[in-house]
Amino acid sequence: MDLNLKKHHNNLLFLPLGGSSEIGMNMNLYHLNGKWIMVDCGVGFAYNIPGIDMMTPDISFIKQYRNDLIAIILTHIHEDHMGAVQYLWEELKVPVYASNFGANFLRSKLTEFKLDKTVPIRIIDSSRPLNLNPFQIEFIGLTHSVPEMKALMIKTNKGNVLHTGDWKLDPNPVVGDVSEIDKIKEYGKNNEILAIICDSTNAVNKGHSRSEGELHNSLKELIINRNGLVGVTTFASNIARISTIAKIAKEVGRKVVLSGFSLQRLYEVGKKSGYFTEEFDFISDREIKFYDKKQILVIARCCQGEEMASTRKIASGIHPLINFSKGDLMIFSSKIIPGNEKKIFELFDLFAKRNIDIMTEKDHFVHVSGHPYEDELREMYSLAKPKIAIPVHGEFLHTKINCEIAKDCGIEKTIQIENGLAINLDRDRINECEVVGKVKTGYMGVNGKQLIDLKSNIIRERKKLQEAGVVIISLALNDSLKMISPFRVKSVGCYDLKNDSDIEDLIHKEITFFLKNKANELDIHGGFGIHILRKKHKKKKLRESRVIQEIEKSLRSKILRIFEDIIGKRPAIEIIIHISN
């Protein structure tokens, strides 16, 4: 059922466009009295789409109401929450709110896209509510793997919604403040929370997530007795982990190399925002050669096997300045994100083939998650005491299990949501709090600096090329459709001329036969010529004339048949016909 916004004009609606029943691309809309706010604007990994590594949610729905969209509010700096701002802001053109660290980080990213002076970035003042009429927003700091993660208490005349963002309950987050759980407790005590929109990433994990602070000793133990080069690879945004590793390096007498632009940027932004106050011994990768291997600790991004990232270059032995060899160690201080397994295992293999030791979360305590395990979810539900739980930030299984945990904690109502579904929320009519409509959703692919629709011809054509290659045939014909010079054929990724030389003979025969028949059929011999036919379409350019198009189309299907018969594949066939005047 399509969402009827007229009917729900005065209703509080929650409507995710991304991040529900999927990991990544978090984008959540809230609506009341015809006004909207967007919470988070993230990207996600794309799989098996040629030339596309990242995606954003399709925002065509909210674009229609962009004049009523008041703000984009970012909970924290992770790519799945703010990575799409540079691609989508031009289409929305609204102020973007973030914490001080978030704003500094976003501005530095926007510089790359020459948008830093264009996008109005407003810094959140956590000490007082932000009034975005009809929404009043209070910010509540929760611990995560990055500092200044802000949960939102969205207060409205229809009830209060706690939008948690990504969180865990970590008594020692290393960088940043501990969770302001007392604020949530206070709301819960007074039964003031109508609904909680909650992180589900680790809902399947029993117990309590481990603390960032605990990791220090474990990593130090693994590094302290090594005599070779040591590397630690982690997410490029994990400021706490970088701080932990830099501290360990200092304690064990190693200098730290931050490999890659994104890590250096994070360090600069972190320092500017008041983090990294301790003096660490950083050197550049150009200086490595002046030291013994056992004096160096390399921090590299990224850990998900990305093609261009420094970890992959190190693994392949092609990094120009960082040279790992037999007996050196690379620690993967990160999680294997579902969907990235193949790329990551390829990376492990590259290290193994060169006899470089690796350690991962599978075999050592080298990583802690930034998301709540079951016990933390239970604690949150028991403190917040919401009437309704709507789990987000997870695949279907994660949100389903999070619903079960919420139910088990005695929460009156749980709603399992998917992208594009709008839920009506009203504290006076809990029974009517349900899905009330659906809007268009989908994905856009990040294609270099542009976005393209993943259902577009460009992607379809790329897939076809990937599958069977392309054959381009160029024909120069005279007025009577006779070839005036030998035709030219070029194969890209379709066949090999050395092994399949008979293919071109067949193409030649087919073309000659086809043109002869076509000329007879059109009766363009004896001076009438194709120019006569062309006159009928004189408003169109020659290349676009129907006659030429028709010839190209028929010839394409005949030549395609040759490839189907011989190779058993359907390549893309491009035929270019030039008619001499």
DSSP string, 96-112: EEE-HHHHHHHHHHHHH
Nearer residue to Zn ion within complex by CB, 28 or 360: 28
- Is the Cβ–Cβ distance between 491 and 573 less than 8 Å? no
Nearer residue to Zn ion within complex by CB, 265 or 427: 265
Using CB under 5 A as the criterion, which residues of the chain lie in contact with Zn ion when the complex forms? 78, 80, 166
Q: Tell how far CA 365 is from the center of its chain.
A: 27
Distance between CA 11 and CA 21 in Å, rounded?
24
CB of 152 to Zn ion, least distance (A): 14
Distance between CA 219 and CA 216 in Å, rounded?
5
CB of 370 to Zn ion, least distance (A): 6
CB of 79 to Zn ion, least distance (A): 8
- Is the Cβ–Cβ distance between 268 and 108 less than 8 Å? yes
Nearer residue to Zn ion within complex by CB, 164 or 545: 164
Task: Sheet containing 44-45: give its strands across.
Answer: 44-45, 54-57, 443-447, 450-453
Nearer residue to Zn ion within complex by CB, 78 or 158: 78
DSSP state of 384: H
Nearer residue to Zn ion within complex by CB, 180 or 453: 180
- Closest to 120 measured CA to CA, from 141, 98, 101: 98
Distance between CA 517 and CA 538 in Å, rounded?
24
CB of 77 to Zn ion, least distance (A): 8
CB of 241 to Zn ion, least distance (A): 13
Nearer residue to Zn ion within complex by CB, 334 or 491: 334
Q: Which residues of 96-129 are buried (b: 16+ CB within 10 A; e: fewer)?
A: bbbbbbbbbbbbebbeeeebeeebebeebebeee
Nearer residue to Zn ion within complex by CB, 138 or 166: 166
CB of 541 to Zn ion, least distance (A): 51
Residue 135 tokens read as 């929404």
Longest dimension (CA), the chain: 96
Cβ neighbours for 285, distance < 8 A, ≥ 6 positions apart: 257, 259, 298, 321, 322
Nearer residue to Zn ion within complex by CB, 126 or 295: 126
CB of 466 to Zn ion, least distance (A): 30
CB of 418 to Zn ion, least distance (A): 17
